[in-house]
Amino acid sequence: MSYRIAGMVFADLDYQQLCGKMLWFYHMKCPFCGNDDDRVLDSRPAREGAAVRRRRECSKCSNRFTTYEYVERTPLMVVKRNGSREPYDRGKLLAGVVLACRKRPISRDDMEKLVDSVDVKLGEDSRLEVPSQELGELVLERLSVLDPVAYVRFASVYRQFDSPEHFVEELKNLKK
């Protein structure tokens, strides 16, 4: 039987043989010493089932590190207000959330979970494009539950507040 994995063809192998050939696929370079021989200590679902978290130990330096595996999806494009398009960047979204939550009693883990839930929502729709307004609304919806100050901070940038009246109006909407 033949298997095609990551563009490579493995011909005339049964499943056991394939697994033996695939061991190198699962090794990662150690971020501490660069060695590519490690062992997986623990695997579990992560990010609401959208990833697999693996805890690894380097066989050379014995340091431990964590890796995540994701299903590779067709790149999602964000349609900006001016009509331009750019690839969806989870890191950019997280940076905006982190900035809104700065000096607030919100853990990094909670911020990651918020962005994870936006990622899952976007993944459910299987669309190729998403308007930036919709992306902002998804974040605001989640921030309103998490922290009202972070919500107003994010809204002020996202909705481009240019006067104190905009802040007051948004606070009134948040209380509803």
Under 8 Å CB-to-CB from 70, ≥6 apart: which residues? 50, 51
Q: Classify 72 as helix, strand or coil.
A: coil
Provide the residue range defining the domain that includes 47. Answer: 25-72
Q: Report whether 112 contacts 94 (CB < 8 A).
A: yes
How is 147-165 classified by DSSP, letter by letter? -HHHHHHHHHHHTT--SHH
Alpha carbon distances (Å) from 72 to 51, 69, 75? 10, 9, 8
- CA trace torsion 53, 57, 63, 68 (10° rounding): -20
Number of domains into which the chain is organized: 2
Reading the chain (176 residues) residue by residue, the pLDDT tens digits are 444 544 555 555 454 454 444 444 567 889 999 998 899 999 999 877 878 899 999 999 999 999 988 776 678 899 999 999 999 999 999 999 999 999 999 999 999 999 999 988 988 877 889 999 999 999 999 999 999 999 888 988 887 777 778 777 777 777 66
Q: Are residues 117 and 45 in the same domain?
A: no
| 108 assigned to some structural domain | yes
Q: Are residues 86 and 60 in the same domain?
A: no
Q: Are residues 113 and 171 in the same domain?
A: yes
| 148 assigned to some structural domain | yes
| 31 assigned to some structural domain | yes
Q: Are residues 66 and 95 in the same domain?
A: no
Q: Are residues 83 and 161 in the same domain?
A: yes
Q: Are residues 60 and 94 in the same domain?
A: no
Q: Are residues 54 and 88 in the same domain?
A: no
d(CA 113, CA 51): 13
